[in-house]
Amino acid sequence: MRARKTTLGAACAAGIALALLAAPAFADYGPSVDDVVGVGSDTVQNVQNFLDDGDILGDSGYNGAGNKNRVVSFDATADANDGAVYANGGTIPNPVGVVLRAGTSPWQRPNGSGAGLNALKADIAAGKHVIDFVRGSSQPSATDVTANNLHVVKIATDDLVMSGKTGGNAVAVSPQDLVAIYECTKTLWTQVGGTSATTIKPYYPDPLNSGTGKTFKADLDTIKGSSVTYGSCAHQAEENDPTLIKADSDAYAPMSEGRKKLFDSGYFHNVTTAANGSGAALSSGITLLYGSNTAQACTAPTGTSTTTYCRTRGLYITFRDSDSTSTKKFQPGGTNNWVKELFLNASDPSSVWVNTPSGQSLIQAGGADPNYRDCLAGASMIPNC
């Protein structure tokens, strides 16, 4: 089940930001204690939504069986079109609340892989079981997994590619120029191979709470060979949200290839039109700048590579390891706990929902590439799973 906030407010173009006023959530489904609740990555949220509730092509999701207990995956973003809620004039998403379980107070909606993982860790530390799993566009650290007795499975991969407004001034740049852009030592497109003398407006995802943001920052560090410090010309923005990019010919940001596919599929619609089904399909309005990468085959960045930045990263699901061995059955009359039902069954990997042909089809419909793997070998995390 897809759960998201209802947002109110008016769009107001002010500088680089789409400004919305946050408002309390009222209509989210309140999961029961027997439902399975997930939070976390923006990148993975559509994939998980499809896995839970099906896609717009009529492919049924797990909840389509109509079972008593359901999977409820709360979006990272407040907007169903994967848009964040910003303070008026701001670019950093505003925190918004969410009720993760029926009968509980609103929590801050975890926005991103890191935020989701932190929420799960806090849930564990508090001795509660509000959150069951976390979506992640980056792999949790071995330290976190060990310390919190977690288990991680990879369900898909997705490419992270630089993007700009379609028809805008952005161009594919070398890895070294990419670092220079984000450190603001090169600020004009003409300095990095472009033809426009206009100023580059780089955006980056939340480097602390977003898996995408962590991955991007770590890759910049790798290219530079030392820690990159985002310059004052660069601004944080909601990951994978093309709103800012398509509005500005000089905007420049990493983008999920899967999200771009989802836009191109016609999934997102214009919500400024009254909800009568007539809203036009949204286009991303952006172009992925693959540069010297061919056939969208990404090469992991290194300190010396001159290949245009493009990162293939895993999409992960993290949960308590103890849940995988729980004797509590997910559905009445069933034999599987929720982990075995949905994400991990060591004795029959092909039977878990995300790894069935139906599940993989839904992952593809969400824009990602199915790629299932248990990321733990015994008790040890597999690096770069």
Partner 1 sequence: MKLKLRKPVLGALALSAVSAILLGGASIASAATPPFEPDTTNQYGQVLFYDASGNMVTSGSINSPISAYAVATTNDPNVGHFQKAALFGYLPVNGVAPGAWSGTQLSQSTTFPAADATAPTGHIAPTTPASIGGLSSDRPVVTEATTDKTLAQLQTQFPNTATDAYQGLYQLRVKVSGESQWWAADVKITGSTWALVYPSITSTTLAASPASPQSLATDGGTPATVTLTASLTASVPGSVQFFRNGSALGSPVAASGGTTNTATKTDVPAGPSAGGSPVTTNYTATFTPTDPSFISSSSSAVAYVVQNPAPAAATTTDLAVTQDGIAGDDVQLTSNVHNTPTPGTVPVGSVSWYDNGSATPLNTTPVAVNGSGVATFDIPAGLTVGAHSIVAKFTPTNAAQFIASQSSPAVFSLTAPLACTPGPKCDPQTFVVDVNAGTLTISTPYTGADAAHTFNLGAMALSSDGTKLHASAPFGSSTLPAAGATFAGVTITDTRAGNGPWTASVYGGDFLSGSDKINGQNLGFTGVQPLYIGGNALSASNPVVTNDVANSGPGTIFAAGASGTAGLKGSPSVQHQFATAAHGDGTVYVYGTMDLYAPTSTPAGHYTGVVTFTIA
* Per-residue three-class SS string for 237-289: CCCCCCHHHHCCCCEEEEEEHHHHHHHHCCCCECCCCCCCCCCCECCCCEEEC
Q: Which stretch binds partner 1 (CB under 8 A): 40-48, 70-78, 278-286, 357-365?
A: 357-365
Out of 110, 301, 314, 370, which residue is the one contacting partner 1 (CB under 8 A)?
Answer: 370
> Cβ of residue 334: shortest distance to partner 1, in angstroms?
5
Buried b (16+ CB within 10 A) or exposed e, 340-356: bbbbbbeeeeeebbbbe
Is the CB of 64 or the CB of 193 nearer to partner 1? 64
Is the CB of 296 or the CB of 325 nearer to partner 1? 296
Going by the DSSP 8-state scheme, the letter that residue 94 receives in this structure is: P
Q: Is 357 an interacting residue with respect to partner 1 (CB under 8 A)?
A: yes
State how far Cα 101 lies from the chain centre. Answer: 22
Tokens of 126: 């508090």
CA distance 19 to 342: 37
Nearest Cα neighbor of 340 from 31, 328, 378, 68 is: 328
Hey, which residues between 237 and 296 contact partner 1 (CB under 8 A)? 296
Out of 281, 297, 300, 379, which residue is the one contacting partner 1 (CB under 8 A)?
Answer: 297
Q: Is 374 an interacting residue with respect to partner 1 (CB under 8 A)?
A: no
* Contact call for residues 262 and 35 (beta carbons, < 8 A): no
CA distance 187 to 172: 14
* Helix boundaries (H) for 102-174: 113-125, 142-147
Count of C-beta atoms within a 10 Å radius of residue 105: 8
Tokens of 69: 């207990």
> Cβ of residue 116: shortest distance to partner 1, in angstroms?
24
* Contact call for residues 255 and 161 (beta carbons, < 8 A): yes
**How many residues sit close enough to partner 1 to count as binding (CB under 8 A)?**
33
> Cβ of residue 153: shortest distance to partner 1, in angstroms?
15
Is the CB of 136 or the CB of 367 nearer to partner 1? 367
Q: Which stretch binds partner 1 (CB under 8 A): 90-98, 120-128, 204-212, 368-376?
A: 368-376
Q: Which stretch binds partner 1 (CB under 8 A): 18-26, 72-80, 100-108, 352-360?
A: 352-360
Burial label for 279, CB within 10 Å (0-12, 13-18, 19+), is middle
Contact code string over 63-102 relative to partner 1, x by CB under 8 A = -xxxxx----------------------------------
Q: Which stretch binds partner 1 (CB under 8 A): 30-38, 243-251, 260-268, 366-374?
A: 366-374
Tokens of 154: 């990879």
Is the CB of 4 or the CB of 340 nearer to partner 1? 340
Q: Which residue has the tokens 């991680």?
A: 152
Q: Is 305 an interacting residue with respect to partner 1 (CB under 8 A)?
A: no
Contact code string over 137-176 relative to partner 1, x by CB under 8 A = --------------------x-x-----------------
Contact code string over 37-66 relative to partner 1, x by CB under 8 A = -----------------x--xxxx-x-xxx
SS3 120: helix
Q: Which residues bind partner 1 (CB under 8 A)?
A: 54, 57-60, 62, 64-68, 157, 159, 296-297, 312, 331-336, 350-351, 356-358, 360-361, 364, 369-371
